[in-house]
Structure 1
Amino acid sequence: MNSEMIKTKEMLDAFVCHRWNDINKYIDQMMSTLPTPIYSSVDIRESLDKYAPVDHNMYPAGFNNVCSLDLEACAKEFKTQIKALKSDAQTIAIIPESHTKNLFYLDHLAILSKTIREAGFTVIIASPDQALFQESPKLALVSQSQYDVEIVQLKEVNNELFAGETKVDVAILNNDQSSPLQMPWKSITTPIVPTPLIGWFARQKIKHFSFYNKVVLNFADKFQIDPLLLEAQFSSKENIDFSSKEGVEELAAEVDKLIAKVGEGKSIFVKASQGTYGMGIMVVKSGKEILEMNRRERNKMDVGKNKIKFTSVIIQEGIETAIRYDDMPAEVTIYLVGGKSLGGFMRANQERSSTDNLNAKGAVFRKYCISEIKQNNDYQCKEAVYSIIARLSTWAAALEIEEALK
């Protein structure tokens, strides 16, 4: 227990750096009985006065942006996690997104496959999407970085998964299911992680950040930390139709309420609760801007990936990033395997300001090695804090999964 309340970012940095082992031990203890996602990634903003996760990805892309040292650490943890699911597992299927024309996503699939292969497994990329196999039972693709990527058909036979003709021991889902995959998930006996029951057809950002708030209050109470150092304030609004403008006036009122709490002049992020891939996001400074949205702006907020209709939003305090990379505003994304922060990158965007959504056209990435953080390494304090924030966010995701599996 601390002798005094941690009330500033500087105090938090020093505390995490010098109590690194105790903090991680406590998070391990709290997550030990929860269904922790096998992997995830967390987007983190750092302002002048706080840190906050702004998104949690249960089915992350972007492993191609993780440094080679951290990929080695990821491989070791993948081995531990997969063996815990099935001790004699040999063949792993990665179930991908269907947007095979995205060459950077194919880079990600190539590196994720290589990482799991280096953990000692046979890896096959296999999709249940029949539309991919109209001309051939397998796809032979080449990624942006010229990696060969082969995708075969995933089938369910007698409640077990097969990649082509090969029986799958464990399947790793890398499809966020904005549009649900047509598979009898509940009857399949092959272990599938993360659970397919929590894709974006069912998941809500509102729920994740509500769980994150509970996690932060628990963690802050344990270590006597001001919880506002660890999260963005938020509210939510449901039953909105941006096309017909139904619920838009109430949304504008919610924006103004949050501005009254966080202070005039602050940016507010309005995000579709089921939004992914940086879609369904707008940044405003008043409720009036919501009321004055033009048709093009409303259309962007109305429909997202795979034509999913957005009807609920999270209204979130904008965290103006204090991080700069090559004089561009930047934010950090941390990658976790088994709930442990093991890799990451910095996302920067010359075309955006420090208050904008940086996950947009113009984004560039810098690899960010974090897998060898040690206690009392003062030069790693920032990386240590990002790592802990990401772990807290993944603790919240584990609570989401626990609820979905009930």
Structure 2
Amino acid sequence: MVPHLVTALTGPINELEQRILDSMPAIERWFRLEWMEHTPPFYSSVDIRNAGFKLAPVDTSLFPRGWNNLTDDMLPLAVQAAQAAIEKICPEARNLLVIPENHSKNTFYLANVARLVRIFHMAGLNVRVGSIDPAIKSPKKIELPHGESVCLEPVVRSRRRLGLKHFDPCTILLNNDLSAGTPGIVEDLHEQYLLPPLHAGWSVRRKSNHLHSYEEVSKRFGKLLGIDPWLINPMHARAGGVDLAEGKGLDVLTSHVDALLTKIRRKYKEYGINEKPFVVVKSDNGADPMGVMTVRDVKDLEAFNHRARTRGAAANDEVRASGDLIVQEGVLTNERVHDGVAEPVVYMMDRYVVGGFYRVHAERSPDENLNIPGASFVPLAFSESAHLPQPGAKPGASAPNRFYMYGVIGRLAMVAASYEMEATDPDAETYE
């Protein structure tokens, strides 16, 4: 199954596809050299938008929560990648503890946890699920819709280690993005590997750091391929000290939005693109549930300001105090699956692409956020051997070529995440 592009399959995206296919040996060597110098995130997922003239990542998660959307055909790749990741970190590993989010009634999310348990069990580990939810006081088995089940057990914290009753793990895998803060129970562990590290959690992490790292990566990769980095990079700006719930900083935000829209118009004119530019405004702090606002004109900010004031009055202080916003170049998605607007999501473990899916939303437009209730998921065909890239195929005619291109963009975002984690590591040594 291959989605169709609404835009004509001509122009920059086909040139980019051709350049990527022609440069495959150089690209793979570039990635190999990167991973000799940098450590990839343990696992990650990247939302990508294909505008037909531009292909760019718009969001990178270091706690991916949709593993149940990968097909069984993709499992062997995930298992192999899990084995490689564990061997690097803890070759003698025997026991793995998965710590999920606390919303134990969400069966769709728990199906994702069950899939993670299955992947690591098949990778040769004893895997159990330990909940840090205070409501879980004894083992709780939850039956899932497709015949699977997951058993949540209360974690046990000793002076230096975290585990379960009669279960001492060498490695702890967080599938909890820590948006509610870093619980003390997972801090100061002794001789246990905690993955991802605590500074990857949204209580600490900032989107602007990732976007800054990705901009650096896209410039270096653009130089390698001889392309304009803009074709793979969403421009962005950070508006600090904005508190819309209090009506403060609207002028700062307006200035950034206006400047970025001007830059996008300039690029559209350069490439002869007949689309209306837009930006998305979202919190720099992923823990802030502000959502995503699509802005096509600075006048839209008045409505945004009114909404923020209304929500701020009714919501908690975390929303009200969200003072740093990201203004990011909006990237259209011109892909369609079953007549619904679609965007690819690439899943990776260690440095490997292990699968992905299309997020599809029939009720959203090409310039809107699709990651909201009502979305459905259609698997990508990354793992089928018949779907290896075909260098001789005409650009735009081959789905495997497009999937390879998505994998390259996903891995670029993964490299950026490794830069980001190194730059923000509180334990990293600094030298004068």
How far apart are 1:196 and its partner, in Å? 1.6
CA offsets 1:82-134 (integer angstroms, 9 cap, x no match): 121111111111111111121110110111111111111111111233x232x
How far apart are 1:183 and its partner, in Å? 2.5
Of the structure 1 ranges 209-218 and 304-313, higher mean CA displacement relative to structure 2 is found in 304-313
Cα separation, 2, equivalents of 1:306 and 1:229:
39
Residue 126 of structure 2 is aligned to residue 122 of structure 1: yes
Question: Structure 1 pair 100/219, CA: closer, same or farther in 2 (3 Å)?
Answer: same
CA offsets 1:291-315 (integer angstroms, 9 cap, x no match): 2336445455899999565221111
Match of 1:282 in 2: 293
Match of 1:85 in 2: 89
Match of 1:329 in 2: 341
Structure 1 unaligned blocks of 5 or more = 1-6
Aligned mate of 2:373, from 346, 358, 361: 361
Contact 2:41 2:417 in 1 (8 A): yes
Counterpart of 1:288 in structure 2: which amino acid? K
Question: Structure 1 pair 277/148, CA: closer, same or farther in 2 (3 Å)?
Answer: farther
Match of 1:374 in 2: 388
Of the structure 1 ranges 299-308 and 82-91, higher mean CA displacement relative to structure 2 is found in 299-308
Cα separation, 1, equivalents of 2:312 and 2:207:
15
Residue 28 of structure 2 is aligned to residue 28 of structure 1: no
Secondary structure of the residue aligned to 1:320 is coil
Match of 1:11 in 2: 15
Secondary structure of the residue aligned to 1:287 is coil
Match of 1:132 in 2: 135
1:332-347 paired onto structure 2 within 5 Å: 332-347=344-359
TM-score normalised by length of structure 1: 0.92
Cα separation, 1, equivalents of 2:375 and 2:259:
31
Cα separation, 2, equivalents of 1:185 and 1:17:
45
Match of 1:269 in 2: 280
Match of 2:226 in 1: 224
Contact 2:239 2:326 in 1 (8 A): yes
Question: Structure 1 pair 197/304, CA: closer, same or farther in 2 (3 Å)?
Answer: farther
1:53-68 paired onto structure 2 within 5 Å: 53-68=57-72
Of the structure 1 ranges 32-41 and 382-391, higher mean CA displacement relative to structure 2 is found in 32-41
Cα separation, 2, equivalents of 1:374 and 1:396:
25
TM-score normalised by length of structure 2: 0.86
Contact 2:246 2:309 in 1 (8 A): no
How far apart are 1:339 and its partner, in Å? 2.2
1:292-303 paired onto structure 2 within 5 Å: 292-293=303-304, 295-298=306-309
1:134-283 paired onto structure 2 within 5 Å: 136-179=137-180, 180-183=182-185, 185-263=187-265, 265-275=276-286, 280-283=291-294
Question: Structure 1 pair 339/311, CA: closer, same or farther in 2 (3 Å)?
Answer: farther
Structure 2 unaligned blocks of 5 or more = 1-10, 266-274
Secondary structure of the residue aligned to 1:166 is coil
Question: Structure 1 pair 84/162, CA: closer, same or farther in 2 (3 Å)?
Answer: same
Aligned mate of 2:330, from 318, 326, 329: 318
Aligned mate of 2:411, from 377, 391, 396: 391
Cα separation, 1, equivalents of 2:247 and 2:410:
36
Contact 1:37 1:58 in 2 (8 A): yes
How far apart are 1:44 and its partner, in Å? 0.2
How far apart are 1:143 and its partner, in Å? 2.7
Of the structure 1 ranges 175-184 and 155-164, higher mean CA displacement relative to structure 2 is found in 155-164
Question: Structure 1 pair 35/388, CA: closer, same or farther in 2 (3 Å)?
Answer: same
Contact 2:240 2:324 in 1 (8 A): yes
Q: How many correspondences in the alignment?
A: 397
Aligned mate of 2:420, from 377, 397, 400: 400
Question: Structure 1 pair 278/119, CA: closer, same or farther in 2 (3 Å)?
Answer: farther
CA offsets 1:32-89 (integer angstroms, 9 cap, x no match): 2322111100000000211010000001100010121212101111011112111111
Of the structure 1 ranges 18-27 and 226-235, higher mean CA displacement relative to structure 2 is found in 18-27
Cα separation, 2, equivalents of 1:228 and 1:302:
39
Counterpart of 1:63 in structure 2: which amino acid? W
CA offsets 1:253-312 (integer angstroms, 9 cap, x no match): 211111111128312110111236985211111122112336445455899999565221
Counterpart of 1:137 in structure 2: which amino acid? S
Question: Structure 1 pair 16/220, CA: closer, same or farther in 2 (3 Å)?
Answer: same
Counterpart of 1:391 in structure 2: which amino acid? R
How far apart are 1:250 and its partner, in Å? 1.4
Question: Structure 1 pair 154/305, CA: closer, same or farther in 2 (3 Å)?
Answer: farther
Contact 2:288 2:322 in 1 (8 A): no
Counterpart of 1:269 in structure 2: which amino acid? V
Cα separation, 1, equivalents of 2:313 and 2:254:
16
1:97-112 paired onto structure 2 within 5 Å: 97-112=101-116
Aligned mate of 2:44, from 40, 44, 57: 40
Match of 1:3 in 2: none
Question: Structure 1 pair 298/47, CA: closer, same or farther in 2 (3 Å)?
Answer: farther
Cα separation, 1, equivalents of 2:178 and 2:262:
36
